[in-house]
């Protein structure tokens, strides 16, 4: 029985092809999960005057689910902005510290403020387009205050 002389060449080519596809898969997977974006400044205008907080913008439900009380980073605030209004409840389930949650309208005005301890949740009772989450005791928020992203924040102390 005579062996086909192209068999070793075909096996070698298949091995090379599999190696190339494995490398491409690895590169695509590494590109798919980039690190978090750099902290941004969040400008909060209250009756006491403007205050710039070091925080992050969260634009996806997955980022919203990873609230301030669950993150390992030393951030002062998280700002969630939604493409459409929602009235979904906000939960501090699994949080390690209390937070103040401000529900925002489409223009960044505070509609309602809630103080949550770890494990608590709140239903705002109104439609909102964003949420500002701040560590408890950092800032006194009231309805009517304004919130806006302001660019890259300087590194904190």
Average pLDDT across the chain, whole number:
84
| Residue 44 contacts residue 53 (beta carbons within 8 Å) | yes
Q: What's residue 28's pLDDT? A: 79
CA 127, CA 2: separation in Å to the nearest integer?
77
What count of other Cβ atoms lies within 10 Å of the Cβ of residue 145?
21
Whole-number Å distance between alpha carbons of 77 and 57: 9
Does 25 score more than 70 pLDDT? yes
Beta strands 77-86 and 49-58, pairing class: parallel
From the CB of residue 130, how many other CB atoms can be counted at a distance below 10 Å? 23
**pLDDT(155) > 50:** no
pLDDT in the model for residue 154: 44
User: pTM score, two decimals?
Assistant: 0.70
Q: Yes or no: say if 112 and 77 are a contact pair by the CB < 8 Å rule.
A: no
The total number of residues written for the chain in this structure: 157
Q: What does residue 92 show for φ and ψ, rounded to 5 degrees? A: -105, 30
Lowest mean pLDDT among 55-59, 85-89, 113-117, 119-123: 55-59
**SS3 assignment, position 70:** coil
Give 30-80 pLDDT, tens digit per residue: 776 556 667 888 999 998 899 999 888 887 777 777 787 777 777 889 898
Per-residue pLDDT averaged across 107-133, rounded?
A: 92
- CA-to-CA distance for 69 and 118, rounded, in angstroms? 8
Percent of the chain with pLDDT over 90: 36
In this structure, are residues 103 and 124 in contact, taking their beta carbons and an 8 Å threshold?
yes
């Amino acid at each position: 029985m005579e062996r086909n002389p192209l068999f070793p060449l075909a096996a070698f080519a298949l091995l090379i092809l599999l190696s190339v596809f494995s490398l491409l898969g690895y590169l695509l997977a590494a590109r798919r999960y980039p690190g978090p974006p750099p902290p941004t400044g969040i400008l909060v205008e209250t009756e006491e005057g403007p205050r710039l907080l070091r925080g992050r913008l969260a634009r996806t439900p997955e980022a919203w689910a990873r609230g301030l009380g669950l993150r390992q980073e030393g951030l002062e605030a998280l700002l969630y902005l939604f493409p459409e209004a929602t009235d979904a409840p906000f939960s501090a389930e699994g949080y390690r510290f209390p937070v103040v949650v401000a529900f925002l309208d489409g223009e960044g005005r505070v509609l309602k403020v809630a103080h949550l301890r770890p494990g608590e949740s709140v239903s705002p009772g109104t439609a909102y387009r964003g949420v500002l989450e701040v560590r408890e005791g950092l800032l006194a928020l009231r309805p009517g205050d304004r919130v806006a992203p302001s660019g890259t924040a300087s590194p904190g102390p």
